[in-house]
Amino acid sequence: MLNIAIRAARNAGDIIQRASENVGQLKINFKTQNDYVTEVDRMAEQEIINVIHTSFPNHGFLAEESGKQSGDDYVWIIDPLDGTTNFLHGFPVYAVSIALQHKNKLQLAVVYDPLKDELFTAEKGGGAMLNNRKIRVTQPNSLKGALIGTGFPFKSKKNLAAYLGMFSALVGDTAGIRRAGAAALDLAYVASGRLDGFWEIGLQPWDMAAGILLIQEAGGVLTDFSFKDQYFQSGNLIAGSPKMHQLMYKAIEPHLTDNLR
């Protein structure tokens, strides 16, 4: 199954890279405020689904652009192009994200960065890899010196004040905060130790499914803002090594409004 997922991700990456040469000619549609989709997102998604469906005709899908397709106990969770806004601006940070759940438990994960040809993979119980080399989360003892990834709540302003509180609690006490614009890659970077931690409000399952398994298999922990594992329901995520997660949670907690808990 992992091999099929990798083939699907690489094929999608080829479609994205070919299209990146003519970004100016792409037709762009708005889904909701600040949420864009192009024919590249749709073509890449269709390719991923075709590759997987050919091998596993009974499996279900939850894909960003085409939605839910029910099947047996297996569900593929797909973000064909994570970082569409970056892609449209030629800002070189975007990736393909594919995860597989069996009876609601994550089984495998692939995040593929076609620009760097970096392939992050994980299988439940089998560890996490970057281009076939084992990766681990970092083990910092304090926020001091830590590099933290995040995403801004740009689609809806309702959590902006709470977010800015969290941001100011962390920005002064860490080495820095990065907003690169592709959550799947942010999470893959936590898994591979390029970032020490990550938090974001309002993610969708396809943004985070693969990244979650990558981090778990790399020795990290993830929770929602209630210290539970209901992140697919809330979309809110804090991630890092057990210690980093705890330190970040402490900094974030005082800024939570009732709707975020």
Q: Tell me which residues touch ligand IPD (CB under 6 A).
A: 79, 82-85, 151, 181-183, 200, 203, 207
Q: How far is the CB of 261 from ligand IPD (least distance, A)?
A: 20
Q: How far is the CB of 222 from ligand IPD (least distance, A)?
A: 15
Looking at the Cβ atoms of 82 and 224, the one nearer to Ca ion is: 82
Q: How far is the CB of 186 from ligand IPD (least distance, A)?
A: 7
- Is residue 47 a contact residue for Ca ion (CB under 5 A)? no
Looking at the Cβ atoms of 77 and 148, the one nearer to Ca ion is: 77
Q: How far is the CB of 261 from Ca ion (least distance, A)?
A: 24
Looking at the Cβ atoms of 140 and 149, the one nearer to Ca ion is: 149
Task: Report the number of secondary-structure helices (H) and strands (E) in the chain.
Answer: 8, 15
Q: Determine contact, residues 192/120, Cβ cutoff 8 Å.
A: yes
- Is residue 79 a contact residue for Ca ion (CB under 5 A)? yes
Q: How far is the CB of 45 from ligand IPD (least distance, A)?
A: 11
Looking at the Cβ atoms of 51 and 78, the one nearer to ligand IPD is: 78
Q: Is 213 exposed, middle or buried (0-12, 13-18, 19+ CB in 10 A)?
A: buried
Looking at the Cβ atoms of 183 and 213, the one nearer to ligand IPD is: 183
Residue 150 interacting partner from ligand IPD, Ca ion, none (CB closer than 5 to 8 Å by kind): none
- Is residue 82 a contact residue for Ca ion (CB under 5 A)? yes
Which helix (DSSP H) or strand (DSSP E) does residue 84 occupy?
helix 84-89
**Helix 160-171, helix 242-252: angle, nearest 10:** 120
- How many Å apart are CA 135 and CA 148, to the nearest integer? 18
SS3 content of the chain, % helix, strand, coil (to 5): 40, 30, 35
First to last CA, the chain: 36
Q: Helix H segments across 172-226?
A: 183-191, 205-217
Looking at the Cβ atoms of 111 and 123, the one nearer to ligand IPD is: 111
Residue 182 interacting partner from Ca ion, ligand IPD, none (CB closer than 5 to 8 Å by kind): ligand IPD
Which residue in this structure is represented by tokens 């991923």? 48
CB neighbour list of residue 22: distance below 8 Å, 6 or more residues apart: none
Positions in the binding site for Ca ion (CB under 5 A):
64, 79, 81-82, 207
